[in-house]
Structure 1
Amino acid sequence: MSTETRSTAPPAPTRTARALNFLYRALIAELRVYSSIGRAIARRPAVPRGGTGIAYHQPVMTILIIFIVLSAVEIPILDLIVHPWPAVRIPILILGIWGLTWMIGLLCAMLMRPHAVGPDGIRIRSGLELDVAVSWNDIASVAIAKRVDEPKQPRITATEEGAEYAERMQDETNIEIELERPVTIRLPGLQPKGGHHEVIRIRLWADDPRAFLAAARPFLIAAD
């Protein structure tokens, strides 16, 4: 007699849910662009009091700067080309300035929203959206462990011990956080790539892994 196997996977999001989620994420990203520029002007990185910010932007910094320079050069060139046609010139000028502002905001977000190691735990960040917080009570150890994964691997992958979350920079991570127990984290977007996931290990990239470890060590000792 055959038994029916029930799937525990969450139902796929509807088209309406996907559209609303896209609009919400676009709005958050747009707001973060301007808030990050404001933080850069005020020189106020998003690091908690008593914490340390650890950068992760070094591998992509050159590419971002090249895109910003090209976007800035493109605006006057296109404006010169379409100058005789105001109906075309004005929308292109607005789009060009908006695109340049967005690229500058993305760069500022990477500079002003670093990984944060503070009294409450570790916050893993990336760009405009990602902000995953893990408390010291859930962290068993933090170690330097460089790994290079296959391209286009998902952030959440299955291992023998449980699910693993990896926030890579150009397919690489160099910090490994072992958790005391499975911990639920929330990633931007909807299931299966986003949403809530229960993980047992976290990997991430830090420009200075030794500084990351040095910042975490006093809190790990205190937690013990």
Structure 2
Amino acid sequence: MGVEALITQMRRLAAHEGRWMASLGLWVARRSHGVGDTEIAVGYARAQAPTAYGLVFVFVVETGGVSFMLAAYPVAHLVMLLLDVYAVFLVLGLHAAAVTRPHVVGPTELRIRRGARLDLRIPLEWIRSARYDLRFPDTNKSEDGVLDVAIASQTSITIELTQPVTAVSLLGRPAKIHTVRCHADEPQTAVAAIKKLLPMDS
């Protein structure tokens, strides 16, 4: 990997860090990112909430235990304290990003999002079909042209396109996508909202 490519990836990671940190503020303020007055927010974070809160609890307990064990070693205590506090905020921030950055059904496009990692815009006229389709994708297998945007290891909506869109990974790797599988808290309601806005000949 060249130096320029490495710098680009570091910038993308830093931008991701900034997005989930900003999401904490939006979460506290009970606001959503990128949802206009004429658009419909489609939440998807409910399924991952128990895992997120469970991890936060584990990290908080670990912080207390490690602090007690390292009390006699101030430098090590400070380092571990900072790492544990960062871990707590990271988990909360990633969950906050999922809550405050929902999928968006708009009058001209559909935005499929996964927290601060993914924001895929699909013109409505490129959508061939949208349907409820509960799946538990195998993370060790991938299909060419298929993007699985799983939450808590599941997807519940399948969207097929008339022409491919380009999805860009967190580190900037592009991929041509003709089928998107994503999750929604209320998938059948989300599918109905998408179908209502599709062109009549879709």
Superposition TM-score, scaled by structure 1 size? 0.79
Task: Tell me which structure has the larger Cα radius of gyration.
Answer: 1
Q: Name the CA distance, whole Å, in 1 between partners of 2:35 and 2:53.
A: 28
Q: Which amino acid aligns with 1:139?
A: I
Partner of 2:109: 121
Number of aligned residue pairs: give it: 201
Moved more, 164-173 or 34-43: 164-173
Does residue 151 of structure 2 align to residue 169 of structure 1? Answer: yes
Residue identity in the other structure for 2:69: I
Give the drift of 1:66.
0.7
Query: Of residues 99, 103, 116 in structure 1, which corresponds to 2:91?
Result: 103
Tell me the distance in 2 between the aligned counterparts of 1:79 and 1:171. 34
- 2:46 aligned residue (58, 78, 81): 58
Number of the residue aligned with 1:141: 129
Match of 1:189 among 171, 185, 189: 171
Partners in 2 of 1:175 and 1:135 — Cα distance? Answer: 17
4+ runs deviating over 4 angstroms: 221-224
Q: Give the corresponding residue for 1:8.
A: none
**Equivalents in 2 of 1:142, 1:17: separation in Å?**
40
Distance in structure 2 (CA, Å) of the matches to 1:68 and 1:126 = 20
CA–CA distance in structure 1, aligned partners of residues 85 and 136 of structure 2 = 37
Cα 1:88–1:181 change in 2 (3 A) is: closer
CA contact (8 A) 1:137 1:223 kept: no
* Aligned 8 A contact 2:124 2:199 in 1: no
Mapped partners of 1:208, 1:117: distance in 2: 13
- Deviation (angstroms), 1:167: 1.7
Equivalent in the alignment of 1:25: 12
Identity within the alignment, %: 23
What is the rounded CA distance, in whole Å, between the counterparts of 1:132 and 1:92 in structure 2? 37
How has the CA–CA distance of structure 1 residues 19 and 48 changed in structure 2, closer, same or farther, with 3 Å as cutoff?
Answer: same
**Long gaps (5+) in structure 2:** none
Deviation at 1:73, TM superposition (A): 1.9
Cα RMSD for the two superposed structures: 2.2
In 1, the alpha carbon distance for the partners of 2:61 and 2:3 equals 39
Gap change, CA 1:63 and 1:18, over 3 Å in 2: farther
Contact 1:140 1:179 in 2 (8 A): yes
